[in-house]
Chain A
Amino acid sequence: MQVLTSGSFINLDNQEKIEQLIFTAKEIAVAASGADEFNNEEENNEKFADEIWQSAEYMSREHEEARIKTIFVNAFLERLRELRGGAATTQSPVEISENISQEIVAESVAETEFPKAETESPKDEFLGIVSTDINGENDELHVQSSIQTDAPQTFAIEKEVFRQANEFEENQVAEEEDLRFSIAEQPASSQPIHSEVVVEAESEKVEAETKTADESHQEEADAGDESIPKTVASKSLSLPDKEPYQFDKCTVTATIQLFPASESSTSRKAVLSVRTHDFAPQISMIELSGSDLPAALMPELQKVLSRYQSDLPAKVMDKMKKEKSSSKKQVKSATTETKSAAPAATAPTAKENTVKVSPAETKRTPHTNVVVKSPAQSAAGQQGSLFG
């Protein structure tokens, strides 16, 4: 075993370095005790150990420095006690409390690594657990180890509390599940609690709960899917831009107007009008007798609709004929205008003919313009074909 030189780097991960540090501390203690003026007393030894530690100037990580120093000082003092005669010295409560405070400070410095090291290697002597041969002699380390072993206990307590909390939540969830199955519709307020349990759950019971939760979510999703087609079906009712001229495939507007009944008669007059596309409405007046208006209206409405359905092809044919004739007139007027305009430019002798023709054309043009360019006709041109 070699003695560590001044300024050496020591880390707790390197056990060889730690052993060298302990060996060095003991060697220094042996060397110091051999001096003539050395007074082997506990108080002096501690101060002397601190001075030696400072003069050694060992390098270490900042959060490991306190623990390494403690190891060094303890080894130094232990060796001095052995040299003093092996008598076990007991520390005063004040000293113990001071050591405890030091250890707490050290723990706060090395709080991240300590629990892991404690749980991974509980018998590591360099991390505070003293071996059995010196267990009864070094109360300081004993207290230290007891403090250190408190941490796993607190973890165990936390785990127990957490487990109990989980069980309590599981019970609550189970009760809610019972309520859910007992009641046909699940209240929406229980949803967030359920999801929290799903997030926090780790045990098998909670996994089962998550399964049931997934099933319930799926049921809700299925319910949502069932509701979706309804909305889709309602949204799918959209009108095309061009509707065919077929009664079953176009929008048919039927209005019912009930006129006030006269005081003398119990019957009531009504007007039923049916229209589709831009065709002229088919208006018929009926007389409803009796107090049950819907019952009296239904057969009349069926008659009106069936009659309009049978008349619709004839209306379509008339419309197409009108469109053809209007287009022919338009073409004729356009050709006559071009003929009349061309000779006027080339042959001035043809003026008389143009003069004769043009008034007739000018008389016609307003009529044709009205027929062709009326809003109804232009809208009719945008409608669908006869056969859709």
Chain B
Amino acid sequence: MEQNATEQDPAISAVSADNQTIVTEMAVIKIEGQEFELEAVLAQDDKMLKTVLQPHFSSLENANITRDVKEGKLHVSIVKKAQAKG
């Protein structure tokens, strides 16, 4: 469920892929069994999200990032990929 940010204020009026508008300022991040809130403007872009979360989650580099808007709130789930041994 990828989404694209509009040129308006992305934290408030971002539009998801299925045209659901993000009305809340905060997004929900799911990673490694944890959930926490993050400003939506930081969670809309993969690069930005990785940059922000990289200091705390080193496995983020090759992770799968999926986004979904539920009731106007952005939900981002991050699942790390299994890396090659060695």
Q: Chain A interface (Cβ within 8 Å of chain B)?
A: 253, 255, 257, 271, 273, 275, 279-285, 370-371, 374-377
Contact = CB atoms under 8 A, between A and B. Distances in A.
B85 interface: no
Contacts of A281: 36, 53, 56
Contacts of A280: 29, 34-36
B39 A257 contact: no
A376 B33 contact: yes
Nearest to B11: A285
B33 A285 contact: no
Contacts of B29: 280
Interface residues of B, number: 15
Interface in B1-51: 29, 32-36, 38-39, 41-42, 51
B42 A271 contact: yes
Contacts, number: 41
A87 B42 CA distance: 132
10 contacts: A257-B52, A257-B55, A280-B36, A281-B53, A283-B36, A283-B52, A283-B53, A285-B41, A285-B42, A376-B34
A273 B55 contact: yes
B11 to A, nearest CB: 9
A312 to B, nearest CB: 13
A273 B56 contact: yes
Contacts of B41: 285
Contacts of A285: 39, 41-42
Contacts of B42: 271, 283, 285
A285 B49 CA distance: 12
Interface centre among B33, B38, B53 (most CB of A within 10 A): B33
A284 B40 CA distance: 11
Contacts of A377: 33
Nearest to A256: B55
Contacts of B51: 257
A273 B52 contact: yes
B80 to A, nearest CB: 10
A374 B39 contact: no
Given A283-B39, A285-B39, A253 B55 contact: yes
A281 B32 CA distance: 12
Contacts of B55: 253, 255, 257, 273
Contacts of B38: 283
A165 B8 CA distance: 94
Given A281-B36, A370-B33, A376-B32, 19 more contacts: A255-B55, A255-B56, A257-B51, A257-B52, A271-B42, A273-B56, A279-B34, A280-B29, A280-B34, A280-B36, A281-B53, A281-B56, A283-B42, A283-B52, A283-B53, A285-B39, A374-B32, A375-B32, A377-B33
Contact of A275 (B35, B39, B52, B56): B56
B33 A374 contact: yes
Most buried by A among B32, B42, B55: B55
B35 A271 contact: no
A281 B29 CA distance: 10
A371 B33 contact: yes
Nearest to B34: A280
B74 to A, nearest CB: 14
Contacts of A279: 34
Given A255-B55, A271-B42, A282 B33 contact: no
Contacts of B35: 280
A280 B30 CA distance: 10
A255 B54 CA distance: 10
Q: Which of A271, A273, A282, A377 has the most CB of B within 10 A?
A: A271
A271 B54 CA distance: 12
A273 B32 CA distance: 17
B29 to A, nearest CB: 8
Nearest to B39: A285
A275 B34 CA distance: 13
